[in-house]
Amino acid sequence: MLQLRSSIASDRAPRLSATLRELKGVHRVIESPDAVEADSVVFVADVEPAAADRLVEAIAELEIPVEDFLLTRVDVVAPPRHHVIGHADANGFAWVEVMDQARSNSRPLARYLALINVAAVVAALGVITSSSILIVGAMALSPDLLPICATCVGIVAGRRGLAAGSFATLAVGLTGVVATATVLSALLKATGLLASGFEVEQSSLATLAHTDYSTVLVALAAGIAGMLSFETRASAAVGVAISVTTIPASAYLGVALGAGGIDHALGALTVLLINISLLILSGTLTLLAQRSLHRAGTAL
């Protein structure tokens, strides 16, 4: 469920009041004098996610400045979800919320870079020691789901800047994974902690450099799961499904470059590029389907 809070001048209040009370999916509209600003009126209303986009458009048509209203998501504790207003999904799809999420994740923030490089260290050690547990841990740490989904949002929305910026953030992150894995494996080899004759194909994870039908199917499925979870709290968990197609291959590529087995680097790079392309393809198609169903439901 979403909640609208707005404080506007008294002369604009009647139009906003009428809009809120007429708009389908907006409920429990509360209108009261602003206790801080004498000539202002405060509005509070519950908004179903399906009505969020129409509400934002209506507010824009009333020429209400963006700093005069706030739309937030709230947790519904009671009544149970199937009793929520109009039997709507209290955690449903809201395009305006997806766009906001995408904008927030389209830049290479410090936390993103830190997490993805920590994931690179864990994944590189997983490749070197043939440890599937470390690979899974690296996938759980990696935040690459966020720029991938933001890229899909930018494509669907026709926002070239958003799509390009998000993809650049993804590219910076995965390049960092390769670089970190390369440096780490080279240092381990130079200090003698890694056998001088080590070759990356000795790892039991050497399949990361080979492409087959499962590579394609896993990447397509991961893209769908990632996009469906993007606007929900499930995104952190589903991020593991996304990273299974990116972090291991990136780390394998770095280890191949830094510790030996450079002939296998091309295979890992091919797997990585194929996975990224299919993730963005399936994520974009999934979002297009979501948006189309949302619009169809709105029109009913």
Highest average pLDDT, of 15-24, 67-76, 132-141, comes from: 15-24
- Of 233 and 244, the structure prediction assigns the larger pLDDT to 244
For the entire predicted model, the pTM comes to: 0.77
| Token duo for residue 263 | 């002939």
Residue 299 has pLDDT above 60, yes or no: no
Asked whether residue 88 falls in the same domain as residue 121, the answer is no
Among the candidates 41, 61, 92, a domain finishes at 92
Asked whether residue 214 falls in the same domain as residue 133, the answer is yes
Rounded mean pLDDT of 160-171?
94
- What local confidence, expressed as pLDDT, does residue 83 receive? 47
Asked whether residue 155 falls in the same domain as residue 275, the answer is yes
Domain that holds residue 167: 98-299
- Categorize the per-residue pLDDT at 300 as very low, low, confident or very high, splitting at 50, 70 and 90: very low
Distances (CA, A) of 91 to 2, 76, 84, 231: 9, 9, 11, 9
Q: Are strands 26-33 and 69-73 parallel, antiparallel or unpaired?
A: unpaired
Cis peptide before 33 (omega within 30 of 0): no
- What local confidence, expressed as pLDDT, does residue 294 receive? 66
- What local confidence, expressed as pLDDT, does residue 233 receive? 53
pLDDT per position as a tens digit, 37-54: 888 999 999 998 878 888
- Look at the block and give the residue holding tokens 């809070």: 5
Rounded mean pLDDT of 70-76?
82
Nearest one of 187, 141, 145 to 166, comparing CA atoms:
145
Asked whether residue 24 falls in the same domain as residue 103, the answer is no
Residue 224 has pLDDT above 80, yes or no: yes
Among the candidates 92, 111, 133, a domain finishes at 92
Residues whose CB is less than 8 angstroms from the CB of residue 157 and which lie 6 or more positions away in sequence, other chains included:
99, 102
Among the candidates 92, 121, 154, a domain finishes at 92
Asked whether residue 122 falls in the same domain as residue 45, the answer is no
Asked whether residue 153 falls in the same domain as residue 208, the answer is yes
Asked whether residue 105 falls in the same domain as residue 208, the answer is yes
- What local confidence, expressed as pLDDT, does residue 188 receive? 92
Asked whether residue 263 falls in the same domain as residue 151, the answer is yes
How far apart are alpha carbons 164 and 159 in whole angstroms? 9
Residue 70 has pLDDT above 70, yes or no: yes
Asked whether residue 119 falls in the same domain as residue 70, the answer is no
- Structural domain total, the chain: 2
Report the CATH number that the domain containing residue 28 is assigned in CATH. Answer: 3.30.70.60
Asked whether residue 111 falls in the same domain as residue 52, the answer is no
Report the CATH number that the domain containing residue 165 is assigned in CATH. Answer: 1.20.1080
From the CB of residue 74, how many other CB atoms can be counted at a distance below 10 Å? 11
- Of 161 and 294, the structure prediction assigns the larger pLDDT to 161
Asked whether residue 27 falls in the same domain as residue 110, the answer is no
- Of 4 and 215, the structure prediction assigns the larger pLDDT to 4
- What local confidence, expressed as pLDDT, does residue 45 receive? 94
Asked whether residue 79 falls in the same domain as residue 140, the answer is no
Look up residue 130 and give its amino acid.
Answer: S
